[in-house]
């Protein structure tokens, strides 16, 4: 089943994000290589593709896991959690409708 993982950033998270980003992307690449990643990306803090110093307010990952518990365990082990980028993480089941 698909699960949506929402990570909410702490204020002024940009430097922490930059430091933890390689390890974060490596985990996402593993999901992609396994054919389990639907999409992933950050929420810019301003209305721009590159928010510059404004940084980001959080992230969204939609990926396939065997269960909600496995998705929660995976999300809790994210390098952004360990680095203090995220103030909270929510995991919810997700049903893809479009594109078909």
- Boundaries of every domain in the chain: 2-93
What is the sign, positive or negative, of the torsion defined by CA atoms of 49, 78, 39, 69? Answer: negative
In this prediction, residue 19 carries a pLDDT of 98
The list of the chain residues with pLDDT below 50 reads: none
Question: In the block, which residue shows the tokens 């590159």?
Answer: 50
CATH topology assigned to domain 2-93: Alpha-Beta Plaits (3.30.70)
In this prediction, residue 28 carries a pLDDT of 98
Alpha carbon 52 to its chain centroid, in Å, reads 19
pTM: 0.96
Counting Cβ atoms within 10 Å, is residue 35 exposed (0-12), middle (13-18) or buried (19+)? exposed
Residue 73 CA to residue 71 CA, distance in Å, equals 5
Rg (CA), the chain: 13
In this prediction, residue 2 carries a pLDDT of 98
In this prediction, residue 99 carries a pLDDT of 93
């Amino acid at each position: 089943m698909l699960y949506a993982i929402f990570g909410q950033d702490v204020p002024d998270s940009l430097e922490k994000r930059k430091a933890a980003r390689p390890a974060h992307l490596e985990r996402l690449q593993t999901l992609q290589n396994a054919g389990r990643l639907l999409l992933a990306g950050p929420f810019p803090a301003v209305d721009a593709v590159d928010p510059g110093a404004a940084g980001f307010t959080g992230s969204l990952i939609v990926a396939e896991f065997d269960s909600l518990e496995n998705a929660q365990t995976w999300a809790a082990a994210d390098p952004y959690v360990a680095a203090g980028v995220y103030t909270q993480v929510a995991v919810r089941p997700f049903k893809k409708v479009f594109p078909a």
